[in-house]
Structure 1
Amino acid sequence: MSDRLETDLVIVGAGPTGLFATYYAGFRGIRVAVVDSLPELGGQITAMYPEKQILDVAGFPSVKGRDLVEGLVEQANSAEPTYLLDRAAMQLEIREDGLSLTLADDTVVDAKALLITAGIGTFHPRPLPAGEGWVGRGVEFFVPSFAPYAGKDVVIVGGGDSAFDWALHLEPLAASVTLVHRRDAFRAHERTVAQVRASRVRLVTNAEVVELRGTTTVEEAELKVDGETQVIAAQAVVAALGFVADLGPLQTWGLETSRRHVVVDQAMRTNQPRVFAAGDITDYPGKVRLVAVGFGEAATAINNLAPVIDPGAHVFPGHSSEG
């Protein structure tokens, strides 16, 4: 027999947006259950970027990912939520008076409303063609800890924010850092690119990694640069080529989607009754995918779903500050 839990609101996604939404729901007097397929709170930040410095959170010129998550968890715990971790949300049934969410372990959560804050669904790293067979033997897709790279020759492949962030953070620890990108133009933030250019990181553009060599682990990388071959030392290779998003079971919930995102209106409502969304998973005209934006969307969603849970509640919560 499956377990059954009753609550006011079920939040799918325990990343920064979901954690802030949990706190804010508690602020509105809403009982919350939080579901996440990962075993720990913090979403992608905990899983992939705990050491990364985050620069777009109000009040923090720079905050390490793990420190941000720690603060968000402490804040969310004030709502006394029920955490249902290490289990995916699978099936959704919407009724006139509420909804039921079935999890991968057959737990059923009955609630009045659902808020989806699940990042951009399930991520599958884009493969590095030359890295086939080397994953776990020197090739990785993200850097949860910097310590293993100390004293090594590191090759980072990619031109986005993650590639440049990791290059910047590994530069003081590694013997050398080479960042390889297939074009001269980068997708990373201009400020970070400028910092990397000013560091001892070697930038190699119009290039690709064509072969990795070694015995039990990677020892060197062959690059093709402007048609010419170069061989460099490499005991570690980070394939920061981005991820392919997959909405997974959410695709069966009847949600309107756009480019693997869930479409919402200005109140963070989806096309399904009682279902709202906030954070990176949402899409609407002018959408900007930043942590700071996710926090604002979470508050907007909670305030607009409050009357769905309690018809006597108001959208405007009153001011949260004293005085």
Structure 2
Amino acid sequence: MNSHSEDTDGHSTNGRRPAEQGGTVTVDLLIIGAGPVGLYGAYYAGVRGLRTAVVDSLPELGGQVTAMYPEKLIFDIAGFPQVRGRELVTALTAQAATADPVYLLGQFAESLHRDDTDRLLVTTNLGTEIDCGAIVITAGIGTFTPRALPAGEDYLGRGLAYFVPDPLSYTGTDVVVVGGGDSAVDWALTLEPVAASVTLVHRRTAFRAHAATVAALHSSRVEVITDAQVTALDGGQAVTHAEITAKGRAPQRIPCQRVVAALGFLANLGPLRDWGLELHDNRHIVVDSAMRTTTPGVFAAGDVVDYDGKVRLISVGFGEVATAINNAAVHLDPATPLFPGHSTDEQPATAAA
């Protein structure tokens, strides 16, 4: 498994860094999806000595956890009585870093071809080509596209964002959060202690977020405007004001330098539908007990898969992706053993004092 890659200028990348747009990355394994299961898969691929690239349509690591509930406590992760979503992603990212994967974020796998040597060639929507021997799909329930804010899309990256990777960067700013689900309420509460002001705008009266979180919202200093929408953003080079129109009221214009559109995400298998995969309900990928799909060399794990008795939990996905990686290792080299050995066998036990 000593593959290497070259970018379009012919410079060796050793499969360790993203190629420039339109370049080529050559690795042993491609993981599609950088959520918790994909990140653990990247780490486990390193355990098997596989060089790995990870592609994800979202610009940040962590998948649905980062996008939708980074501040929520998760209670069903082994070894953690409770852990916040962002903390779980941080730990998984650090663990995956030991395998030094190539991250190709903000782009999605589009076409799949097989060359004369049975190598798989995947091209992304940005023209990056990944040359690999096997693929593991861990893409949650497909490609995630942020739901657009109807007004002000021209300000994306100039005050308008879909994610808050660094809450401290909002310190001292006037922030408008748009949405009524868990992510919107979470972001509003997270930003409230550091922002100069936070206004939450929701088009309905009732929130879809957890009741306890909504109660915390109403007890905070966040201004909540319901039955309303952001109908315009303005400010020239960057956002300076938002126009908010509530039902039955005249539009009001408030100052803001940052807008977080937490309107949810559209999930779709997208181009993966054309990869010859057997699908269930037209949205989940059917796999066998080895996590093999019906397309040779392509495996899948996590929420995207379906089989009799499937339970969609992160903890289940961790086990599935380990199974997928081990079987992918055998696919890449039939002489290699399926069972990798125990991690405790790698180092001698420390003697008790």
Q: TM-score range by the shorter chain?
A: 0.7 to 0.9
- Are residues 230 and 249 of structure 1, via their aligned partners in 2, closer, same or farther at CA, if it must alter by over 3 Å? closer
Contact 1:11 1:116 survives alignment (8 Å)? yes
Which residue of 210, 216, 236 corresponds with 1:195?
A: 216
- Are residues 162 and 93 of structure 1, via their aligned partners in 2, closer, same or farther at CA, if it must alter by over 3 Å? same
Whole-angstrom CA distance in 2 between matches of 1:88 and 1:107? 11
Match of 2:38 in 1: 18
- Are residues 132 and 39 of structure 1, via their aligned partners in 2, closer, same or farther at CA, if it must alter by over 3 Å? closer
Pairing 1:298–2:318 present: no
Q: Secondary structure at the match of 1:228?
A: coil
Unaligned runs of 5+ in 2: 1-9, 11-22
- How much does 1:20 deviate? 0.8
- How much does 1:25 deviate? 3.5
Matches within 5 A, 1:92-107: 92-93=112-113, 98-104=118-124, 107=129
Q: Which stretch shifts more, 256-265 or 171-180?
A: 256-265
Match of 2:18 in 1: none
Whole-angstrom CA distance in 1 between matches of 2:198 and 2:143? 30
- How much does 1:248 deviate? 4.6
Counting matched residue pairs gives 316
Matches within 5 A, 1:241-280: 241-257=263-279, 261-265=283-287, 267=289, 268-280=291-303
Contact 1:167 1:177 survives alignment (8 Å)? yes
Whole-angstrom CA distance in 1 between matches of 2:25 and 2:154? 43
Contact 1:134 1:218 survives alignment (8 Å)? no
Whole-angstrom CA distance in 2 between matches of 1:69 and 1:174? 24
- Are residues 38 and 214 of structure 1, via their aligned partners in 2, closer, same or farther at CA, if it must alter by over 3 Å? closer
Contact 1:35 1:84 survives alignment (8 Å)? yes
Contact 2:141 2:269 survives alignment (8 Å)? yes
Q: Secondary structure at the match of 1:53?
A: coil
Match of 1:35 in 2: 54
Pairing 1:116–2:134 present: no
Q: Which has the higher contact order (CA 8 A, sep 6+)?
A: 1
Which residue of 123, 136, 139 corresponds with 2:160?
A: 139
Contact 2:171 2:195 survives alignment (8 Å)? yes
TM-score by length of 1: 0.75
Contact 2:51 2:101 survives alignment (8 Å)? yes
Contact 2:69 2:182 survives alignment (8 Å)? no
- Are residues 163 and 51 of structure 1, via their aligned partners in 2, closer, same or farther at CA, if it must alter by over 3 Å? closer
Q: Secondary structure at the match of 1:143?
A: coil
Which residue of 176, 182, 185 corresponds with 1:161?
A: 182
Unaligned runs of 5+ in 1: none
Q: Secondary structure at the match of 1:10?
A: strand
Contact 2:121 2:130 survives alignment (8 Å)? yes
TM-score by length of 2: 0.69
- Return the letter of the residue paired with 1:254: G
Whole-angstrom CA distance in 2 between matches of 1:203 and 1:116? 40
Pairing 1:218–2:240 present: yes
